C-alpha cells in the first residue's frame, strides 16, 4: 500500500482545525497543521457565525500544508449539525448565519406543533425534538424575516457550505442532512410532506451519500492555497457521523459516546427505530456512513464545564482543562449533583451561578471551589450517561455491555472512570481525534485506498492506543439521587 495524504477541515463549536492525515501501510498518522478559535459573534442582539473568517482560516491551513511540499489527494469538511447558510445563486451568503444557541428559536417547538403534531414530525424524520434543529430555525426565519427565505435559492448546512466554497459543488451530504429534522431516513430523501405542510420554500440541495467525490478544488482556491490536484469529498459532513465511523469496535453489545461540547450517545442500527417509545425518550435517528442509522441521543456534554471555565477566566482565574480535572479528582465524591438537561444549563453566561442556584433549589450544599464545581459537573454527566443507556436498552431490548468513548472528552481520565462507575459498564476510550480520523479514512474509501468500513476500523485499531476502564464503585444510591433530580 502506497502513502496517501488527505486533509480534514474539522470544525467545532469552540475551535477549528486543519488536520493532515497520512495513510501508510494500513496505519494512519494525524497532524494538526492549523488551529483557530471559533465561537459565536454577538451582533445586534443575536449570535452569529463568522463563516467568511472561518473560510480564511481553512485556506491558511491548506497553505501551510502546501508549503511543506505535501501533495494532498483530497479534502473534506465536517462540522456540527443544524445551522445553515442561506445562499442566492453564487453569492457567498445572504446574511451571517445564526448560531444554534441564539434565543430566536425559544418557543419554536410549540409553534411548530400547532401546525403539524409532534408525532407526525417524528414519524417523518425520527429526529429528537430540540428547538435548535434546522426545521425550527427555518420556521423562525419564515415568521420573523420572510424576506431572507424569499431571496434565497438554497440553504447549505455548515460543512456542506465550506465544501461548496472549496469546489463550487453545492450538495447536502446525507449524515448532515439527517440532523435537520426535515429528512426522511427511511426513504433517504427530504420530507416533502413536512416541507409542504409547513409551507417552506424549496431550498433543499440534492442529497449525496457519505463518501461522495464532489470534484476538484476551484482553480482560484488551488492557486491561492497551493493545494493543486486535490479532490473535495463529502465524507461524513456531520462531525458525529465521522467520529462514529472511527469507533474501533467489534461485534455486538456496544454503544458509543462522541464526547465534547455535546455528548452524542448511541448505537449503530441497520434501519431507523421510529416508535412511540423512542419518541417518548426523545431519541434520534441520524444517518451514518453507508446509510446506517445512528440511533442516539444528543445530550449536554462538556459544555457546562466549558462555560464554568469561561466564567472563571473573566474573573482572572485561568485554568486548563487538565488543571480542572486534577482539582476535580481531589474534590469529595458525589457531594452535589445537577440535572444537565435542566434548560438553564443550555444557555451561556455565569454557569457556576446557575449550578449554585440549582443546588439550593434542590436542597443540596452547592460547590464552592473550582474542583468541586468540576466534579459536580462530571459526575452528573456520567449519571446522565447511565440514564440514557438504560432508556436505549428499554427501546431496543438489547443489552449494552461496553461503552466506547471517542473525541476530545475521552482525554478526561476522571470522566472516563466516573462513566464506568456510574454506568457499571466497561469503558474503552480512544481515539481522541475520532472526527478527523473518520473524515480522513472515509476520504480514503472514496478514493479507493480502503475497501470498506470494516477495513477503516481495522486501520483505527492499528493506529491508536485504547484505554480500558472497569467499574470501581457501586453508584446505585447516587443514581437514585440523580433520578429524583432529573424528574
Q: So which residues are the catalytic ones? A: 239
Q: Which three cell numbers stand for residue 286?
A: 441520524
475 near 383, Cβ under 8 Å?
yes
The residue among 37, 83, 34 whose CA lies nearest residue 62 is 34
**Burial (0-12, 13-18, 19+ Cβ within 10 Å), 65:** buried
What torsion do the CA atoms of 146, 147, 150, 156 make, to the nearest 10 degrees? -80
* Rounded Cα–Cα distance for residues 26 and 225 (Å): 29
Q: How far is CA 129 from CA 67, 108, 232, 359, in A?
A: 45, 10, 32, 27
Q: What is the DSSP string of 421-448?
A: HHHTSEEEE--TTHHHHHHHHHHHHHTT
Phi-psi region of 373 (alpha: psi -120 to 50; beta: other; left: phi over 0): alpha
Beta pairing class for 207-208 and 189-190: unpaired
Please state, as a whole number, how many other Cβ atoms lie within 10 Å of the Cβ of residue 375.
26
For the chain, what percentages of helix, strand and coil (3-state, to nearest 5) are there? 45, 20, 35
**Cα 48 to chain centroid, rounded:** 18
Go through 414-427 and write b for each residue having 16 or more CB atoms within 10 A of its CB, e for each that does not: bbbbbbbbbbebeb
Residues in the chain: 487
The residue among 11, 360, 300, 2 whose CA lies nearest residue 162 is 11
* Rounded Cα–Cα distance for residues 428 and 430 (Å): 7
Amino acid at each position: 500500500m502506497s502513502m496517501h495524504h488527505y486533509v480534514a477541515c474539522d470544525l467545532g463549536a469552540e475551535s477549528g482545525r486543519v488536520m493532515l492525515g497520512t495513510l501508510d501501510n494500513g496505519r494512519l498518522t494525524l497532524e494538526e497543521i492549523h488551529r483557530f478559535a471559533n465561537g459565536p459573534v454577538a451582533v445586534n442582539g443575536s449570535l452569529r457565525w463568522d463563516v467568511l473568517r472561518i473560510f480564511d482560516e481553512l485556506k491558511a491551513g491548506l497553505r501551510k500544508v502546501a508549503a511543506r511540499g505535501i501533495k494532498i489527494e483530497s479534502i473534506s469538511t465536517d462540522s456540527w449539525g443544524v445551522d445553515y447558510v442561506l445562499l442566492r445563486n453564487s453569492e457567498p451568503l445572504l446574511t451571517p448565519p445564526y448560531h444554534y444557541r441564539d434565543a430566536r428559536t425559544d418557543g419554536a417547538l410549540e409553534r411548530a406543533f400547532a401546525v403539524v403534531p409532534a408525532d407526525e414530525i417524528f414519524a417523518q424524520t425520527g429526529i429528537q425534538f430540540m428547538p435548535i434543529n434546522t426545521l425550527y430555525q427555518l420556521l423562525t426565519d419564515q415568521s420573523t424575516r420572510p424576506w431572507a427565505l424569499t431571496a434565497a435559492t438554497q440553504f447549505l448546512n455548515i460543512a456542506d457550505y465550506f465544501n461548496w466554497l472549496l469546489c463550487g459543488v453545492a450538495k447536502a451530504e446525507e449524515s448532515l442532512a439527517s440532523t435537520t429534522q426535515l429528512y426522511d431516513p427511511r426513504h433517504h430523501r427530504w420530507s416533502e410532506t413536512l416541507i409542504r405542510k409547513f409551507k417552506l420554500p424549496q431550498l433543499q440541495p440534492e442529497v449525496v451519500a457519505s463518501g461522495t467525490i464532489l470534484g476538484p478544488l476551484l482553480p482560484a482556491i488551488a492557486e491561492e492555497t497551493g493545494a493543486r490536484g486535490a479532490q473535495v469529498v463529502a465524507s461524513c459532513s456531520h462531525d458525529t457521523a465521522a467520529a462514529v465511523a472511527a469507533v474501533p469496535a467489534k461485534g455486538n453489545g456496544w454503544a458509543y459516546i462522541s464526547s465534547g461540547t455535546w455528548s452524542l450517545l448511541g448505537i449503530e442500527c441497520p434501519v431507523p427505530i421510529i416508535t412511540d417509545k423512542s419518541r417518548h425518550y426523545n431519541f434520534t435517528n441520524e444517518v451514518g456512513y453507508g446509510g446506517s442509522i445512528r440511533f442516539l441521543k444528543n445530550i449536554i456534554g462538556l459544555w457546562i464545564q466549558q462555560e464554568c471555565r469561561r466564567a472563571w477566566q473573566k474573573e482572572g482565574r485561568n485554568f486548563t482543562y487538565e488543571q480542572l480535572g486534577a482539582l476535580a479528582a481531589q474534590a469529595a465524591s458525589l457531594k452535589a449533583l445537577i440535572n444537565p438537561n435542566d434548560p438553564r444549563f443550555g444557555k451561556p453566561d455565569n454557569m457556576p451561578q446557575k449550578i449554585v442556584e440549582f443546588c439550593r433549589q434542590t436542597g443540596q450544599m452547592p460547590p464552592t471551589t473550582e474542583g468541586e464545581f468540576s466534579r459536580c459537573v462530571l459526575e452528573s454527566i456520567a449519571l446522565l450517561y447511565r440514564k440514557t443507556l438504560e432508556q436505549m436498552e428499554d427501546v431496543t431490548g438489547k443489552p449494552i455491555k461496553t461503552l466506547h468513548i471517542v473525541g476530545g472528552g475521552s482525554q478526561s481520565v476522571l470522566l472516563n472512570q466516573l462513566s464506568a462507575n456510574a454506568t457499571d459498564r466497561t469503558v474503552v476510550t480512544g481515539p481522541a481525534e475520532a472526527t478527523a480520523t473518520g473524515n480522513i479514512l472515509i476520504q480514503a474509501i472514496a478514493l479507493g485506498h480502503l475497501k470498506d468500513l470494516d477495513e477503516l476500523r481495522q486501520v483505527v485499531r492499528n493506529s491508536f492506543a485504547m484505554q480500558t476502564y472497569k467499574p470501581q464503585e457501586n453508584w446505585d444510591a447516587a443514581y437514585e439521587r440523580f433520578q429524583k433530580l432529573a424528574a
